[in-house]
């Protein structure tokens, strides 16, 4: 083993021992007032997982797999079956279906065609070219994971830059991986143009923002949905989430584009017509979508449409016979098959699962192609849900919420939301947004009881509001590569330096904290009450 490998191994073991030692100290400390013994052990497990996630001691999924073991070892759960229940949560299978649908879109280049079409229509000026890349990235990120979208769009953005600036003018960072699209050349240092920086950073930020738009766009959304269901028994649903996510995307994406291209890194290129022409040429060369590709597009369109329709049961169910309404949209009544109660054929997880055999029956995908998904993220979800369930079951989240937020009970709720947003953004900058959401969201759900009386609304409504605010904020950390997968992918491509991301990210973090706080408050007061609770 090389000296570097030995050093990394020793560091990993040392950090793991620190995690174990800290966990023992938390578990063995005198129990605070109001916290049960099992709740203290659940908090010790949270420390163990949180320390390993933040420090990067182990891969995130490996840490997630250790959570059921630690919970059962402490006796938080009497049997391992209960600790493993989070890995079978319905939201796990929604994301699994989303990953598999994304594989089908990518196999037939449907996502790439959408991006090129937008570029061919909007690429008439440098700023509009950046807007086209960001819009395409954000739209795709709503339906394909933001990680996969960033990985696909980064080489496309680099290829566009090569057409506009010339291959020899695209700067790279020495010693870093270079994405497909431009050769490294002779390694001579070149100046980074504003167009290059704004387009690459715009790609990363648009992938993160676009992921907020739908329930399957980014892990924090799915974590939120699972924990609202597990802790409160509240089903936010695919269509309801659109009322949360789409307004956020529609407002924040243009602001980020404006700041990048007008204030931070204004492009200084006279013409981008070659990129627009190149996108048209590529689309013409590829020709029409083949029959299998069209069938994938039909399956995807039908799935997305049914996801939306399934969330509109309160509008359509009254027009149907009761048995059909229960069968299609869910309920406790008798179904058309004569049984009592049904979750509904249009329950969004049911729709997602049905799309998978549809792809196979349409002769578009084989199992080996479907199974090529990010299983690590799936396992990470499962571990996070198991941890959140244990904190809720032992009332540990209630204790944290009352301890941490009691001092803010007399503060205006706008200030509380601002504190939540900036806290989550800060935490996300130093760890992954998935880990942050896993730890913070159950705590924010429990905070609902602290502020419900002051707001004059139901406890569930307040819990949803604060948890949604935290989940969304987890996608708005822009300053460091570690914060989100899109940041890491674009930074790792070798076409931007950390100083570029840091400069833009600090400004955007501050601006987005204010924008998100105000926007979330307006939505909470005037839009969501009519639809979410």
> At 240, is the secondary structure helix, strand, or coil?
helix
What is the percent of the chain where pLDDT is above 90? 37
HEC readout, 249-290: HHHHHHHHHHHHHHHHCCCCCCCCHHHHHHHHHHHHHHCCCC
Q: What is the pLDDT of residues 243-263, one digit of tens each?
A: 889 999 999 999 999 999 999
Helices (H), 56-193: 60-74, 80-83, 90-107, 110-122, 126-143, 146-165
pLDDT of residue 89: 83
At 304 the pLDDT is: 81
- Six-digit token string for 112: 């790439």
- Where helices occur in 317-431 by DSSP H, the ranges are 322-329, 348-361, 367-370, 375-393, 396-405, 413-430
Per the CB < 8 A criterion, the answer to whether 486 and 205 are in contact is: yes
DSSP state of 32: P
HSE, side-chain direction, 13 A CA sphere, residue 93: 13
Average pLDDT over residues 183-189: 53
What local confidence, expressed as pLDDT, does residue 188 receive?
Answer: 55
Look up residue 317 and give its DSSP letter.
G
Tokens of 132: 């086209």
Using the predicted structure, report yes or no on whether residue 1 has a pLDDT greater than 60.
no
Q: Taking 90 as the threshold, does the pLDDT of residue 360 lie above it? A: yes
- CA 92 to chain CA centroid, Å, is 14
User: Which three-class secondary structure state does DSSP give residue 389?
Assistant: helix
By C-alpha distance, which of 64, 190, 303, 344 is closest to 335?
344
Range scoring the smallest mean pLDDT among 22-26, 275-279, 391-395: 275-279
**For residue 336, pLDDT beyond 90:** yes
pLDDT at 186 over 50: no
Q: Tell me the whole-structure pTM to 2 decimals.
A: 0.79
The phi-psi region of residue 269 (left if phi > 0; otherwise alpha if psi is between -120 and 50; otherwise beta) is: beta
In this predicted structure, what is the pLDDT of residue 66? Answer: 94
Within 10 A of 507 (CB to CB), how many other CB atoms are there?
A: 16
For the segment 200-210, the average pLDDT, to the nearest whole number, is 96
CB atoms within 10 A of CB 428: 29
347 has pLDDT over 80: yes
pLDDT of residue 400: 75
The confidence score (pLDDT) of residue 428 equals: 80
Residue 204: what are its φ and ψ, rounded to 5°? -65, -50
Closest CA to 390 of 428, 438, 423: 438
* Of the candidates 274, 261, 266, the residue with the CA atom closest to the CA atom of residue 166: 274
Residues above pLDDT 70, as percent of the chain: 91
Mean pLDDT of 80-87: 91
Which of 26-30, 81-85, 88-92, 509-513 is the least confident region? 88-92
Question: Helix, strand or coil for residue 254?
Answer: helix
Highest mean pLDDT of the ranges 104-113, 144-153, 480-489: 104-113
For residue 514, pLDDT beyond 90 = yes
**Span 422-439, average pLDDT:** 79
User: Which of the two residues, 49 and 411, has the higher pLDDT score?
Assistant: 49
CB 486 within 8 A of CB 148: no
Distance, CA of 526 to CA of 161 (rounded, Å): 43
Q: What is the domain partition of the chain in residue ranges?
A: 1-82, 109-288
Neighbour-count burial of 158, counting CB atoms closer than 10 A to its CB (0-12 exposed, 13-18 middle, 19+ buried): buried
288 phi and psi, to 5 degrees? -70, 155
Q: What value does the mean pLDDT take over residues 56-70?
A: 89
Per DSSP, the three-state class of 170 is coil
User: Rounded mean pLDDT of 448-464?
Assistant: 70
Over residues 209-223, the pLDDT tens digits come to 999 999 888 889 988
Q: How confident is the model at residue 143 (pLDDT cuts 50, 70, 90)?
A: confident
CA–CA separation, 307 and 312 (whole Å):
9
Please report which helix (H) or strand (E) contains residue 306, including its range.
helix 291-310
Q: Highest-confidence range of 115-129, 300-314, 348-362, 400-414, by mean pLDDT?
A: 348-362
pLDDT of residue 239: 84
């Amino acid at each position: 083993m090389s000296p570097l490998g030995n050093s990394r191994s020793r560091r990993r073991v040392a950090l793991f021992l620190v995690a174990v030692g800290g966990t023992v100290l938390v578990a063995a400390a005198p129990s605070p007032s109001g916290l049960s013994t099992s709740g203290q052990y659940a908090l010790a497990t949270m420390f163990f997982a949180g320390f390993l996630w933040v420090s990067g001691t182990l891969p995130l999924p490996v840490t997630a797999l250790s959570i059921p073991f630690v919970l059962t070892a402490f006796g938080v759960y009497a049997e391992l079956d209960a600790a493993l229940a989070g890995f079978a949560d319905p939201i796990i299978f929604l994301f699994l279906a989303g990953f598999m649908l994304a594989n089908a879109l990518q196999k037939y280049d449907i996502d790439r065609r959408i991006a090129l079409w937008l570029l061919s229509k909007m690429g008439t000026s440098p700023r509009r070219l950046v807007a086209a890349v960001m819009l395409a990235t954000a739209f795709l990120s709503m339906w394909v994971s933001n990680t996969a979208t960033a990985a696909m769009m980064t080489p496309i953005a680099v290829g566009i830059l090569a057409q506009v600036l010339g291959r020899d003018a695209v700067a790279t960072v020495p010693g870093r991986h270079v994405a497909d699209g431009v050769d490294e050349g002779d390694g001579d240092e070149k100046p980074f143009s504003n167009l290059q920086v704004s387009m690459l950073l715009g790609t990363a930020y648009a992938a993160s923002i676009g992921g907020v738009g739908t329930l399957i766009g980014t892990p924090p959304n799915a974590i939120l949905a699972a924990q609202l269901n597990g802790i409160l028994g509240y089903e936010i649903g695919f269509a309801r989430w659109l009322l949360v996510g789409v307004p956020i995307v529609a407002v924040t994406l243009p602001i980020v584009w404006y700041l990048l291209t007008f204030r931070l890194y204004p492009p200084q290129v006279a013409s981008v017509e070659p990129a627009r022409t190149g996108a048209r040429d590529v689309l013409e060369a590829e020709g029409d979508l083949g029959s299998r590709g069209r069938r994938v597009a039909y399956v995807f369109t039908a799935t997305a449409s049914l996801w939306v329709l399934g969330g509109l049961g309160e509008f359509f169910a009254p027009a149907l016979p009761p048995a059909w309404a229960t069968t299609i949209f869910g309920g406790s009544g008798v179904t058309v098959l004569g049984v009592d109660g049904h979750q509904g054929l249009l329950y969004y997880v049911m729709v997602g699962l049905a799309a998978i055999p549809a792809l196979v029956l349409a002769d578009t995908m084989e199992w080996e192609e479907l199974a090529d998904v990010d299983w690590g993220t799936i396992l990470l979800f499962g571990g996070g849900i198991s941890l959140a369930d244990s904190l809720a079951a032992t009332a540990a989240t209630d204790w944290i919420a009352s301890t941490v937020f009691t001092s803010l009970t007399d503060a205006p709720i706008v200030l509380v939301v601002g504190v939540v947003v900036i806290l989550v953004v800060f935490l996300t900058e130093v760890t992954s947004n998935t880990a942050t959401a896993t730890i913070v969201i159950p705590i924010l759900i429990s905070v609902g009881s602290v502020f419900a009386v002051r707001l004059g609304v139901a406890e569930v409504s307040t819990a949803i509001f604060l948890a949604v605010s935290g989940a969304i904020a987890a996608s708005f950390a822009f300053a460091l590569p570690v914060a989100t997968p899109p940041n890491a992918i674009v930074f790792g491509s070798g076409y931007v330096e950390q100083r570029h991301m840091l400069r833009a990210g600090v400004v955007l973090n501050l601006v987005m904290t204010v924008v998100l706080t105000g926007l979330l408050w307006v939505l909470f007061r005037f839009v969501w009450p009519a639809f979410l609770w």
